[in-house]
Structure 1
Amino acid sequence: MKHPLVDLRTDPVYKIYTTANDVDTTSKSLWAEMTPQQNVALNRQWHAYEDVVCEMRMMASWGWKATADSVLANSAFDPSRTAVSIVIAQSGPLCSQKATVTYFLVELISIFLDLIGVQYDILGFTTVDRNGGKSRQQWVNAGCPENPGRLSDIKRIVFQEASSDKSGTSFDSQVILRGETFNDSIDGEALFWAAERLKDLSADTNLVLMISDGEPTDTTSLQENHPDFLLSHLKAVIRDLQTTPGFFVAGIGIDRDVSDLYETNLKICELDQIPEDTLPFLTGLFS
């Protein structure tokens, strides 16, 4: 049975000035938009990434199967009725080396989810730019009314759909390594969007796993609203998820402790920390 989430976007405290300029895209579309020079640069990044993680990936694979078998041995766990959304808050500070850590984390989580046989989304969430974009300009043209709500144009990226037949992270998802696609991130809306997509899968157990390197950021919106405007909304969405039957939420902080936001949480600081710390964390999520 599906249990609808409260649509917190219509909450009187949190509002959106306009959604007319929001963008929905895919990793394939991001590839298609790249210039030849950007393709060369990303290919260079990919080879550098492989040089760094190849051995760690191989070592991690030795323990992956045994850990997955321990989860599957739990009679209460039904992979056919379980769905996961991995959502990456792609904020500006997440570029360069943090993007490498994030991609390796997503790659290993994907391997684990494939082994236990659950369906999962890989999503990205950011803003179109760091200056508010068209939405802010519309607000200015309207005379800058007070407390406008979220002013930036947001970009929702589907790197991989739960309905996909692919195993592991797809080739297209390598665009996660592109730091220039990261601007600001409005984490409350990211979590809400991820949860709404899970609802469409009609699973009994739904997990939203947020990967972030900090609190929600959107300078344009914060300048014109209450300072806690975005953080309060994020906390409200987390509370809503935690009280919705069949839904669970967890957070992984990239170089940041997110225990103040997510009761179930993990902090990742270094690349070589991922294999050792991620396995027991994932096991706990499905125990």
Structure 2
Amino acid sequence: MKNYLKKLNFTGILLLAIVLNVSCNKEESPEIIETGETETFEVAQLQASDESELISEEILNIGEDVYAVDEIQATSKGSYISDYLPDCVTITTVVTSSSKEKIIDFGEGCELPNGNFLSGIIKLSYLKDMEMATNTLSFSLENFIFNGVYVAGSATVERMRSNENGNPQSEAVANFTGEWPDGDTASFSGNRTREWIEGFGSGFWGDNVFLISGKGIYTGKYDNVFVKETISPLRRELSCRFLVSGILEITRNDTTVGLDFGDGSCDSKGILTYPNGESEEIFLRRFKN
């Protein structure tokens, strides 16, 4: 799943828990995954939680991309421009004696290179001393809509310029809520760690690759609660709107399933493995490819 939790109630994971009551019509009975026990999983709720993860991750990615431009320009003493955000995005900078605030405005609607469509504002603030080994990034949202989902909430990221591998790394704690076009709502929160393993400083968005791990909670329709924890790091290649590989362990009450995002192909498919050992391919989010 090449071209990447109710953490819009996200405890930071990054992985971030997620929300979405995707593709099913309200009049239709939801598709149920029988686990062989008393507990069941709704595919639509899993799809919604996966989309919540996408929302959380994209918000954080946008903010970190804007921050990286500032950091590289300051520490490299030269010009640097990232091409991830298109011309329809307006960025306004407010500087105080010790901090900077970036107002990232998508206006009435703006499509990112990976196909996600956003409107509204992400506010990002941090200390303006870019020589520090770590910096704290604070996120908030204003009238923000992501692919038709109204999103509210905030996040905090501890951004490390260089980890033991020499790569930028961030530790995020996020809490978001979402309202889908059909009126369904959810919250997602969590903690996530994200290492920027490829493409940092190139200026070309399509070669950026991240490894993500963490734990999050998604609370969706009918107060269904899913706890998600990374078993194998999730790989996000920015040129794809989906996660392309990695494994999550998802628990609802006393039932736990595994969700494998694949072998690196950019698609919306995942493999669910149930407690009885059986597996099934499902589509994630509202997409069929």
TM-score if structure 1 supplies the norm length? 0.31
TM-score computed with the length of structure 2 as normaliser: 0.31
Structure showing the higher helix proportion among its residues: 1
> Which structure features the higher share of strand residues?
2
